Amino acid sequence: MGNTSILQLVLEASIIVQAVLLVLLAASVASWAIIVRKRKILRLAVSGSDAFESEFWSGGDLSTIYRDVSKGKTPSDMSGLFESGFREFRRLNQQSGMTAGEIVEGAQRAMRVSLMREMDRLEHNLATLATIGSTSPYVGLFGTVWGIMNSFQALGNVQSATLAMVAPGIAEALVATAMGLFAAIPAVIAYNRYADQVMRLEVRYDTFIEEFSAILQRHARAKQSGSAEQAK
């Protein structure tokens, strides 16, 4: 028994236990793939938002910022909210008969739609991490219980039971529990960390929408006041 490796235990395990281990291995691989990809996405979202905020609050012209943001691929993170809101603001501002409040409300709706799309992108696969983290220990426990049941059934067919006879079966069963924890622990840690980062980004985005809406409100009122003075 002392010379028995984990690989030997897995190869000599029952079909059910091997199937459980295969499922847990696939769950662990999928979990790590999501963890690596989600880490990159969130890091880019944070760095992109930081860079955009620095440019936005530097006092530059909104039209210039809009042209810079609109270049190249479709903007994401906070710059995507700005792009969709300012695009709608310019479109509505060119129409006659609309009040400043209606124009800003239209821009806010566009930013809210962009926010929902961005949050859906950031939250993608987080539920999968939560599922892997919550179910993997139970899947591993199922493999353990099944392996122990087989060990005791084998003991019932012999007249004298010894520790050497039952130990390999119990060991192979416990491998399933260990594999379940191996798949679950990283998934739970990553889910909690990434869910917190997504929540913090959502708060930042909501705050930016409110602040940008106030700026657009001032621009819309200033333009309408200038038009009214010219009409006089």
- Give the per-residue pLDDT at 164: 61
- Give the per-residue pLDDT at 81: 94
For 129, what's the count of Cα atoms within 13 Å in the CB-facing half-sphere? 24
- Give the per-residue pLDDT at 2: 44
- Give the per-residue pLDDT at 224: 64
Contact call for residues 24 and 177 (beta carbons, < 8 A)? no
Q: What are the residue boundaries of the structural domains of the chain, listed by start?
A: 6-47+62-226
Q: Determine if residue 158 is left, alpha or beta; phi over 0 gives left, psi from -120 to 50 gives alpha, anything else beta.
A: beta
77 Cβ neighbours under 8 A, 6+ residues apart: 44, 45, 48, 49, 52, 118, 201
The two structure tokens encoding residue 198:
């997504």
Q: Determine if residue 125 is left, alpha or beta; phi over 0 gives left, psi from -120 to 50 gives alpha, anything else beta.
A: left
Stretches where the chain sits below pLDDT 50 are 1-3, 231-232
Instruction: Estimate to the nearest angstrom the gap between the alpha carbon of 226 and the chain centroid.
Output: 46
- Give the per-residue pLDDT at 42: 95
- Give the per-residue pLDDT at 12: 67
Written as one letter, the residue type at 45 is A
- Give the per-residue pLDDT at 147: 81
Cα–Cα distance for residue pair 22/20, rounded to 1 Å: 5
